[in-house]
Chain A
Amino acid sequence: AQKVTQAQTEISVVEKEDVTLDCVYETRDTTYYLFWYKQPPSGELVFLIRRNSFDEQNEISGRYSWNFQKSTSSFNFTITASQVVDSAVYFCALSSNTGKLIFGQGTTLQVKP
């Protein structure tokens, strides 16, 4: 069975702090994909990144970076120099070759000015 765990329910930081959102996954598939989505207060789900199971390179996009480690089944997300606009719920998700996409419970990030 596939499972995604986001142990952090809520995180609160002050603007300009760095913050890391944790994601741990379980799957028996050898080929799979990991995702992060952002859900701002307006409610839509915004795609941030996808990584496949064969690509463990870390990725950086502006203030966002992702650390994928198969050895620990983790796909963590770091926001550097957080801003108030980063306040949102962040979801980690997992899919396999079946196409089925499952989500973690989400982490609510509050960035205070």
Chain B
Amino acid sequence: DAGVIQSPRHEVTEMGQEVTLRCKPISGHDYLFWYRQTMMRGLELLIYFNNNVPIDDSGMPEDRFSAKMPNASFSTLKIQPSEPRDSAVYFCASNFRGALGYTFGSGTRLTVV
């Protein structure tokens, strides 16, 4: 298995632009998580899905952030409009209930200038 695949690896965008981050979980995993990592706030859980259904989005910072999971093999995290304070590394992770560990993607480093 190729693991959790995130794209792009790096994204530089201007303030006000729309940004879309993508994630392909491991096949067969029924949980998908989006995290944001910053120096100040560490690893924050933004939202997670179970069987493609959002379970807890209490970590989504503002209405500018939205996440979707249209099917079991794909999820997006969208920021519209983006702001410099959104600059961070965004990780996607997937898990199968009962599996040993949560598998993380390599992350997307987002820079908003």
Contacts and interface: CB of A to CB of B under 8 A. Distances in A.
B78 to A, nearest CB: 22
Contacts of A37: 104
A28 interface: no
Interface in A95-113: 95, 98-106
B13 interface: no
B103 to A, nearest CB: 7
Contacts of B50: 99
Contact of A103 (B42, B55, B97, B107): B42
B43 A106 contact: yes
B56 A100 contact: yes
B19 interface: no
Given A105-B42, A106-B42, A100 B48 contact: yes
Interface residues of A, number: 18
A46 to B, nearest CB: 8
A26 B73 CA distance: 33
A69 B68 CA distance: 39
B45 A101 contact: yes
Interface string B80-94: 000000000101010
Contacts of A100: 45, 48, 55-56
Contact of B101 (A35, A44, A102): A35
B75 interface: no
Given A99-B97, A100-B48, A101-B33, A45 B104 contact: yes
A50 interface: yes
Interface of A: 35, 37, 43-45, 47, 50, 91, 95, 98-106
Interface of B: 31, 33, 35, 42-43, 45, 48, 50, 55-56, 89, 91, 93, 95, 97, 100-104, 106-107, 109
